[in-house]
Structure 1
Amino acid sequence: MSVPLYQAKADFFRLLAHPVRIRALELLQHGPMPVRDLLAAIEVEPSILSQQLALLRRSGIVTSQREGSTVVYALASGDVADLLQAARRILTEMLTGQNELLAELRETEVAAR
């Protein structure tokens, strides 16, 4: 029995739903990076970053390549970068709407005094 598309999408978004994974993907949008650079930028315990990168690699969202003693990660597809950019645009629109609502609330509060 196959998984319905909506369930597969929910599973995919759950896979992304971790701050360390999102940050790693954001950094990898700019090109492949060695683990040491990811670790310096994200500032988490090495074991935590390793777990999160392994999960992204097993799911096929990122790839890894060993270069000597260094492991370099990269996005498996540009579609992931596109998704992150779309998320940024959506959040910007949401926050803009919230700021407009907040300004309206403040105006009505001042007018009520």
Structure 2
Amino acid sequence: MNTLFKALSHPVRRRIIEMLRKGPMASGDIAAAFDMTWPTVTGHLNALKEAGLVSPERDGTTIRYRLDISAVEEALAFLLSITGARSPSDGDKDRD
């Protein structure tokens, strides 16, 4: 989970996640959205991949990145647990 929070701490990585919410994108299209070098963008994508936030898929010679929300769900559950807030799925337990 430390890797996840570290990945989310950078504004460029959060922007990439916002972009991927609309659907998978080629790495070149992601890089074109930023005024930085290709290796820098690749480093951000690798950090997101290591955190389990994105999944790369090869499409011919292109690598497309897809958002993987399961890591975010795990982090959200953790944050809710430390605040004492109940997650939406906890409401179902009251009906049992």
**Segments of 4+ moved more than 3 angstroms:** none
The alignment covers a number of residue pairs equal to 73
Whether the aligned pair in 1 keeps the contact of 2:53 and 2:71 (CA below 8 Å) is: no
Q: Indicate whether 1:17 and 2:9 are aligned.
A: yes
Q: Which of 30, 35, 51 pairs up with 1:43?
A: 35
- Backbone CA RMSD of aligned residues: 2.2
Deviations 1:8-43 (A, max 9, x none): 4xx233321112211111110100000111011122
Per the TM alignment, residue 77 of structure 1 is displaced from its structure 2 partner at its CA by: 1.7
Structure 1: gaps (5+ residues): 1-7, 84-113
Structure 2: gaps (5+ residues): 76-96
Whether the aligned pair in 2 keeps the contact of 1:62 and 1:74 (CA below 8 Å) is: yes
Per the TM alignment, residue 79 of structure 1 is displaced from its structure 2 partner at its CA by: 7.4
Tell which structure's C-alpha radius of gyration is larger: 1
Q: Which residue in 2 is equivalent to 1:75? A: 67
1:44 is paired with a residue of what secondary structure?
A: coil
Whether the aligned pair in 2 keeps the contact of 1:24 and 1:42 (CA below 8 Å) is: no
Instruction: Give the alignment's TM-score, normalised by structure 1.
Output: 0.57
Q: Which residue in 1 is equivalent to 2:90? A: none
